[in-house]
Amino acid sequence: MFLPQEIIRKKRDGNVLEAADINAFVRGVAADEVSEGQIAAFTMATYLNGMTSEEAVALTRAMRDSGTVLNWKAFNLPGPIVDKHSSGGVGDVVSLMMGPMVAACGGFVPMISGRGLGHTGGTLDKFDSIPGYQTSISIEKFQQVVRDVGVAIIGQTAELAPADKRIYATRDVTATVESIPLITASILSKKLSAGLDALVMDVKVGSGAFMPTLEKSRELARSIVEVGNGAGVKTSALLTDMNEPLAPCAGNAIEVRCAVDYLIGKSRPQRLHEVTMALSAQLLVTAGIAKGVGEARQVLTHCLESGRAAECFAKMVTALGGPADLLENPRKYMPVAPVIKPVLAMRSGFIAACDTRRVGMVVVALGGGRMRAADKIDFAVGLADIVSLGMHVNTGDLLAMVHARTEEAASSAMREFEQAITISDLAPARLPLVQMLTE
Ligand code: URA
């Protein structure tokens, strides 16, 4: 007989669970036979006692199999099924470019993206800011667009990894989010339900990262690589810097305009370009599309310069209901905020530090993110022209442009943004932008 409390007891007492225990528990979660209290007890026991890698693999597989797992065999695609995932950040617009770039290089990218969480932006919210673009579509249509275009970026559907939805909701209100095996299984179960051959994980490090320290970020990256490979998907990870916004902007429509400018070659901000290329190259190598990072970077550069990546993005937008000429006319379609105000430096010196979490919260407070899950987003608002760490500014120089709905919201955002930036006489130490995961 299935008794969830016996499985919880085993984990509470520090024992290792069998895959059969974990399967039974997760099946019970998906079938509503396990109560919220039992999920809370299980996740707290896991939070306190951890899991072996085998247990985390079993949990990931069980959560993935709690719903539909996409099967691509019937499509006979000429390339591997691949994806990326980021642990979340501010101005992290990489997915918008990387999906089409990897598709243009021969990968097939069924990307199921999430909404903004806390201070971080969400790829799903960014696509929702494109008029007409449908992020909520059937699995059949999703697979068709991936087959025809090479990439489709949509939101989570109820069919994929439903056990994660219940477990995550309980973790959120029981102080059990910050558990490496639970985070690993949550992220991977959703990603792996797309039927992937290869995945690259971008784990952020720094003041705007989800994990609080470099060591914790490394631990999460190692766990994802080990469990992803253990669950049968070629998985690799890079650690990337989030001690300042990745793009020089943050906010949904503003970031879409930045991605369009990047793809058409109008503007490729250096940090954003480097991280996008590093993750894309890593994925091409992990998936076996390129033999090494050097070759991968050459192919990616060609796909960008020839316009093929931009073409993939345009085709995806059109196939999912967005404007056919978004790339030619992004400013015609993307909403623009009515109040645009500069934040100016109050003193001269070097941009020495950025509280990136606080910058993310400026965007949330402007209405560009959610305070409560049910909140509606104002797609137009956010920050643009954000200064970079290490830059020298004089008094009165621009630190960022605030895009707001009202004068009051702009004033408050200007004050908050200024507080998030430290200007000092000393130039800050240069931090690595991309780090390989070493054992
Ligand atoms: N994102 C997820 O999808 N799951 C977690 O547990 C944490 C972040």
Examine residue 2 and state whether it is found in any structural domain, yes or no.
no
Q: How far is the CA of 427 from the centre of ligand 1 (A)?
A: 35
Q: Are residues 379 and 313 in the same domain?
A: no
Lowest mean pLDDT among 225-234, 360-369, 370-379: 370-379
Looking at the annotation, which residues are catalytic? 83-86, 123, 171, 186, 190-191
DSSP category for residue 396: T
Indicate whether 287 and 349 sit together in one domain: no
Same domain for 111 and 258, yes or no, is: yes
Query: Does residue 197 share a domain with residue 254?
Result: yes
Q: What is the pLDDT of residues 245-276, one digit of tens each?
A: 999 999 999 999 999 999 999 999 999 999 99
Domain-ending residue, one of 319, 350, 367: 319
Residue 377 lies in a domain: yes
Residue 301 C-alpha from the chain's centroid: 23
Whether residue 271 is found in the same domain as residue 376: no
User: How do residues 14-54 score in pLDDT, each as one tens digit?
Assistant: 999 999 999 999 999 999 999 999 999 999 999 999 999 99
> Which one, of 43, 11, 51, lies nearest residue 176 by Cα?
43
CB-count exposure of residue 114 (10 Å: 0-12, 13-18, 19+)? middle
Contacts of 6 (CB under 8 A, 6+ apart): none
Q: Is residue 330 part of a domain?
A: no
Specify the pTM. 0.96
- Which CATH number do you get for residue 129? 3.40.1030.10
* Number of domains the chain contains: 2
**What distance in angstroms lies between residue 47's CA and the mean position of ligand 1's atoms?**
14
Beta carbons of 285 and 120 less than 8 angstroms apart: no
Phi, psi of 61 (to 5 degrees): -60, -45
- Report residues whose beta carbon is within 6 angstroms of any ligand 1 atom: 168, 177, 182-183, 186-187
Name the residue of 63, 117, 179, 184 whose CB sits within 8 Å of the most ligand 1 atoms, as the mutation to test its pocket.
Answer: 117
Domain extent at residue 370: 335-424
Please give the full DSSP string across 400-426, using - where no structure is assigned. EEEEESSHHHHHHHHHHHHHHEEEESS
Domain boundary among 253, 286, 319: 319
By most ligand atoms within 8 Å of CB, the mutation choice from 187, 190, 223 for ligand 1 is 187
Reported as a pLDDT band with limits 50, 70 and 90, residue 439 is: low
Strands 234-241 and 198-205: parallel
pLDDT digits (tens, 9 = 90+) for 94-130: 999 999 999 999 999 999 999 888 899 999 999 999 9
Nearest-CA residue for ligand 1 atom 6 is: 183
Q: 223 and 282 share a domain? A: yes
Find, among 133, 135, 93, 116, the residue nearest to 367 by Cα. 116
Question: How far apart (Å, rounded) are the C-alpha atoms in residues 59 and 170?
Answer: 16
> Which residue's C-alpha comes closest to atom 5 of ligand 1?
183
- Taking the centre of ligand 1 as the mean of its atom positions, its distance from the CA of residue 49, in whole angstroms, is 19
Domain-embedded: residue 29:
no
3-class DSSP state for residue 349? strand
The answer to the question of residue 56 being in a domain is no
CA separation (Å) from 358 to 123, 223, 271, 350, 407?
19, 28, 20, 19, 20
Both 271 and 147 in one domain: the answer is yes
Instruction: Please give the number of the atom of ligand 1 that sits closest to the Cα of 177.
Output: 6
Do 406 and 312 fall into the same domain? Answer: no
CATH of the domain at 362: 3.90.1170.30
- Boundary-marking domain end, from 319, 349, 377: 319
Asked if the structure places residue 177 within a domain, the reply is: no
User: How far apart are the CA of 291 and the centre of ligand 1, in A?
Assistant: 32
The reply to whether 324 falls in a domain is: no
